[in-house]
Amino acid sequence: MNSVPKKAFIFDLDGVIVDTAKYHYLAWKKIADALQINFTHEHNELLKGVSRIRSLDIILELGNITATAEQKNQWLAQKNADYLSYLVDMDSSELLPGVLQTLQFLKEKNQAIVLGSASKNARPILEKTGIIDFFDAVVDGNDVTNAKPDPEVFLIGAQKVNIIPENAIVFEDAVAGIQAANAAQMISVGIGKAEILNEAHYVFTDFNEMGLAFIEKLIK
């Protein structure tokens, strides 16, 4: 019998496992440029952790542009096509520091590993980076109705691996994601800047800084 307690370790995707934020930015900027909207890296921070539709609305608000549902659907399809074209050459070199070692350690310790992301392209990204087999469950933008900070994505994730929310740990890089984890009564671990992610229980710049000793402590 394995005496190690089993917990659920839930990972966000963009900015936690891979840095696809740069590709989202390029794809959105292309739309913004075509609409003559000034869209900067600072503006791009507003899109972190929010749905594709809400992201488009934020960009249109920046340019004071109103659009029909038809126009919006066209831009959303265009954005996704451009974004996917950037992902074609993606491989394991795109994994952020320490991610692979963390996944390997959790697997060795027989812990439940879950993906909880707003991305509708989560599965192809996990496949391209060669880590999909680490995950016991994948909950993405196709599985949820409510976007973060609503805790739905994380609650479904924990449910899929039969772990109660109090025994789940969430890794997030966005404020909305940290708020969602806290609302779900889970332990929230911020990946990024402490001054931005100050609502998290713990914050590290990346998984290398976090270290495996900290993961071991979370398991216990």
Q: Which residues are annotated as catalytic? A: 12, 14
Question: What tokens appear for 187 in the block?
Answer: 């332990």
Cite the beta strand spans of 106-191 per DSSP E.
Answer: 112-116, 137-139, 168-172, 187-191
Q: Please list, in sequence order, all residues whose beta carbon lies within 8 angstroms of the beta carbon of residue 53, skipping any fewer than 6 positions away.
A: 72, 76
Q: What CA–CA distance (Å, rounded) separates 185 from 16?
A: 20
Question: What tokens appear for 30 in the block?
Answer: 């292309």
Q: What CA–CA distance (Å, rounded) separates 9 from 103?
A: 9
Do residues 16 and 26 touch, judged by C-beta distance below 8 A? no
